[in-house]
């Protein structure tokens, strides 16, 4: 509420908006590395080698409450992230007059759920009963989830991105996995820092892609042993990073139930999900 009331967006701010467990960490790594590539090259002393992506690109609420919007994101444009649904964003971020940019990263609802279940199972305090897959799935299907139901979150940003395509970049986790170079180029252009022909020839996009890959980030000391803030254990952020892992956990009945809900809630808006590559 404090952030909504008091945060003042600037025209060149860039917000990375993501439903939890849809690839926030990856998007932060990519956006930070692309935006600040003049300052940091992937091979030498890059901040990602010693800092978790969530430290480099803070969540808006935390940055605002810590009054960290200038120190932590000193560069212009300011880059921060949010899990907040579109309707609940601070009005100045949504303001047509200010017109700051939003990158939304969407992931298919099946992998998102499985990723969340693994994450919340690990993060669950020891004094609570373990959360069974069945119970967690039932809650997800009823829309009981951090930051609200999956379908409301995705559709909120999707509809707005159709209205104002010049201010929104709508990416999917699956497309990024399938063709990272193409979508990193789109991201760079959208952020106002397109890759030059020389950079492309030198293989800089591939280098950044490798730096930000799950296999690289997962093996760094900061992500093996570090924490972000007092609660977030960095290693819990890097699991498989695949498209289609849900087939290993969801039963046909679960898939049928979620299929039906997604159809009911999301049909007719022109949005489809890739559930395998």
Chain positions contacting ligand A3P, by CB under 6 A: 18, 20-26, 29, 111, 115, 118, 212-214, 217, 237-241, 245
In angstroms, the CA 134 to CA 130 distance is 11
User: Closer CB to ligand A3P, residue 12 or residue 121?
Assistant: 121
User: Closer CB to ligand A3P, residue 82 or residue 161?
Assistant: 82
Is the separation of the CB atoms in 176 and 23 below 8 Å? yes
| Nearest distance in Å: CB 17, ligand A3P | 11
262 SS3 class: helix
User: Which is the catalytic residue, given 39, 46, 54, 83?
Assistant: 83
User: Closer CB to ligand A3P, residue 118 or residue 257?
Assistant: 118
User: Closer CB to ligand A3P, residue 11 or residue 225?
Assistant: 225
| Nearest distance in Å: CB 177, ligand A3P | 7
| Nearest distance in Å: CB 2, ligand A3P | 24
Half-sphere exposure of 212 toward its Cβ, with a 13 Å CA cutoff? 28
Whether 39 sits among the annotated catalytic residues: the reply is no
Enter the DSSP assignment of 195: P
List helix spans (H) across 203-271. Answer: 204-211, 214-218, 221-225, 252-266
Planar angle of CA 190, 195, 199, nearest 5 degrees: 165
Residue 7 structure tokens: 């945060």
| Nearest distance in Å: CB 251, ligand A3P | 18
Q: Which are the catalytic amino acids?
A: 83
């Amino acid at each position: 509420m404090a952030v909504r009331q008091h945060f003042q967006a600037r025209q060149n701010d860039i917000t990375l908006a993501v439903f939890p467990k849809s690839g926030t960490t990856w998007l932060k790594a990519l956006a930070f590395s692309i935006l600040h590539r003049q300052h940091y090259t992937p091979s030498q002393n890059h901040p990602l080698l010693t800092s978790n992506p969530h430290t480099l690109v803070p969540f808006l609420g935390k940055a605002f409450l810590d009054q960290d919007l200038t120190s932590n994101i000193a560069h212009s444009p300011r880059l921060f992230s949010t899990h907040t649904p579109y309707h609940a964003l601070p009005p100045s971020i949504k303001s047509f007059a200010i017109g700051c940019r939003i990158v939304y990263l969407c992931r298919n609802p099946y992998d998102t759920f499985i990723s969340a279940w693994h994450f919340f199972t690990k993060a669950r305090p020891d004094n609570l009963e373990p959360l069974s897959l069945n119970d967690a799935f039932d809650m997800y299907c009823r829309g009981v989830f951090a930051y609200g139901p999956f379908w409301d979150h995705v559709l909120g940003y999707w509809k707005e991105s159709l209205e104002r395509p010049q201010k929104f970049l709508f990416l999917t986790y699956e497309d990024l996995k399938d063709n990272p170079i193409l979508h990193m180029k789109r991201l760079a252009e959208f952020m106002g820092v397109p890759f030059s022909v020389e950079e492309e020839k030198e293989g800089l996009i591939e280098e950044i892609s490798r730096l930000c890959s799950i296999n690289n980030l997962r093996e760094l000391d900061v992500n093996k042993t570090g924490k972000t803030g007092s609660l977030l254990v960095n290693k819990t952020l890097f699991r498989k990073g695949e498209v289609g892992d849900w087939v290993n956990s969801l039963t046909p009945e679960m898939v049928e139930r979620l299929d039906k809900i997604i159809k009911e809630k999301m049909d007719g808006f022109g949005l489809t999900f890739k559930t395998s590559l």
